[in-house]
Amino acid sequence: MSIDSIKQLAQAYAPETVQVRRHIHANPELSFEEHNTAAYVKQELATYGIEAESMANTGLVALIKGKNPEKKTIALRADLDALPIVEANEVAYKSKNEGVMHACGHDVHTASVLGTARILQELRKEFEGTVKLVFQPGEEKFPGGASLMIKEGVLQNPAPASMIGQHVFPMLPAGKVGFRSGMYMASADEIYITVKGKGGHAAMPEMNIDPVLIASHLIVALQQIVSRHASPKVPTVLSFGKVEAKGATNVIPNEVKLEGTFRTMNEVWRKEAHQKIKQLAEGLCASMGGSCDIDIKFGYPFLQNDPAVTSIARKAAEAYLGTENVVDLDLWMGAEDFAYYTQQVPACFYRLGTRNEERGITSGVHTPTFDIDEAALETGIGLMAWVALQELEG
């Protein structure tokens, strides 16, 4: 099968993919509430002759069987959910669901996998193997739809040999894509600490155990975890974005609450770091006469792109778009639940450029003005189809 035949199909289906994206964009639903979106996707797939099954409540899974379908299976993933953001774009396809917005491009991902599915379904007599389509709920909300889909068996019957995910990237112009082999995105855990002391009149510190002072030392001391315990070769971030002491100018409170995030790119170090954070917090608070409750909630794991799968996908992209349109991605300390799949199956998560400087399409994801250059959709569907076929052959 030639690249040109894929490009022709991508061009032919691009206008309808734009309409599909606009429909999903105008009708966003929050994480784990994607009932109408899932019904719409299921119905779209049916019009292409693809039967989908529900999974994880609002998720869907479907198969496109080529010749010799047992030979190899690869999976393509899209996410269905939107964010609790009021859309500020004045566009024909503006969100009709006030306060909910596809501000992370999951409308684009869903429309792209649908367009890709249409191309592959048309070509199914020309390739060997099976393409599994995964439409998952709840990427934006813990515990992540990916973890639920895995629990419900999305990686079995048939088990994919590799998995591909595509995500919008507003820093990269439409028409370009980005890849990174190996570690790419961070794990993200939430830290909740309550520092306990003994409150009282601020003029009589000798009568109190000041949790504000203890918490201040603790925030500084915990940075040692990053600077002295983390290997310089493993990216690590510890940030406290919320500090709450409900005292007054003349009142020392009983307790101070700290909330933060811990991010890294190594699962062994991640667990070690949790222990070190707990030990240091408990020890430091005790040494200053106080105590603390500490709770670290595991979020998504770190995202690792398999070198072999990524190499095939990248070479496919270079052939499809030209080497000048394929860039290296930097490490990214954001988190993404596609990481759950990458812990189970060799996978590649790549970025689809959606920026258009001239038209002022530059806003970041998770902002009220996020939008895409829809020219990216033609690239998205054709490239993903080509990558899927190369992975089936690879």
Q: How far is the CB of 371 from Zn ion (least distance, A)?
A: 15
Residue span binding Zn ion (CB under 5 A) among the ranges 96-104, 123-131, 242-250, 262-270: 96-104
Cα atoms found within 13 Å of the Cα of residue 292, Cβ hemisphere only:
29
d(CA 27, CA 246): 41
* CA–CA gap between residue 109 and residue 56 (Å, rounded): 19
Bridge partners (DSSP) of residue 201 are: 251
Q: Which is nearer to Zn ion, 108 or 284 (CB)?
A: 108
- For residue 9, the minimal CB distance to Zn ion (Å) is 26
The residue (of 337 and 373) whose beta carbon lies closer to Zn ion is 337
Q: How far apart are CA 39 and CA 153, in angstroms?
A: 21
Half-sphere exposure of 320 (CA within 13 A, CB side): 30
Candidates 103-111, 116-124, 197-205, 236-244: pick the segment binding Zn ion (CB under 5 A): 103-111
Is residue 187 within 8 Å of 338, Cβ to Cβ? no
User: Cβ of residue 292: shortest distance to Zn ion, in angstroms?
Assistant: 32
* Binding segment (CB under 5 A) for Zn ion, from list 3-11, 63-71, 97-105, 289-297: 97-105
H or E stretch covering 133: strand 130-136
What does residue 87 show for φ and ψ, rounded to 5 degrees? -70, 135
Report in angstroms how near the CB of residue 109 gets to Zn ion at its nearest. 8
Would you count residue 56 as binding Zn ion (CB under 5 A)? no
Return left, alpha or beta for 156; rule: phi > 0 is left, psi -120 to 50 is alpha, else beta: beta
One character per residue 229-248, x = contact with Zn ion (rule: CB under 5 A): --------------------
366 is in an annotated binding site: yes
For tokens 């099976």, the residue is 130
Helix (H, G, I), strand (E, B) or coil at 43: helix
| Cβ neighbours for 196, distance < 8 A, ≥ 6 positions apart | 211, 254, 255, 285, 290, 291, 292, 293
Q: Which of 14, 60, 76, 104 binds Zn ion (CB under 5 A)?
A: 104
Q: Report the C-alpha gap between 165 and 309 in whole angstroms.
A: 12
- Using CB under 5 A, which of the segments 99-107, 233-241, 280-288, 348-356 binds Zn ion? 99-107
- Is residue 70 packed enough to be buried (19+ CB in 10 Å), middle (13-18) or exposed (0-12)? exposed
292 is in an annotated binding site: no
Helix (H, G, I), strand (E, B) or coil at 23: helix
Tokens of 384: 């993903």
Shortest CB 337 distance to Zn ion, Å: 9
Q: Closest distance between Zn ion and the C-beta of residue 110, in Å?
A: 11
Give the SS3 label for residue 265: coil
Segment interacting with Zn ion (CB under 5 A) among 1-9, 102-110, 172-180, 371-379 = 102-110
Stretch that binds Zn ion, among 101-109, 210-218, 222-230, 255-263 (CB under 5 A): 101-109
Write out the binding residues for Zn ion, residues 177-216 only, by CB under 5 A.
Answer: none
- Cβ distance to Zn ion smaller for residue 104 or 218: 104
Residue with the CB atom nearest Zn ion in the bound state: 104
For residues 55 and 104, which CB has a smaller minimum distance to Zn ion in the complex? 104
Total chain residues near Zn ion (CB under 5 A): 1
Q: Considering beta carbons, is residue 174 or 335 the nearer one to Zn ion?
A: 335
Taking alpha carbons only, the member of 261, 253, 250, 390 closest to residue 320 is 390
Residue 102 assigned to a binding site: no
Q: What is the binding site for Zn ion (CB under 5 A)?
A: 104
Q: Which residues are annotated as a binding site for Mn(2+)?
A: 104, 106, 140, 167, 366
Q: Which residues are annotated as a binding site?
A: 104, 106, 140, 167, 366
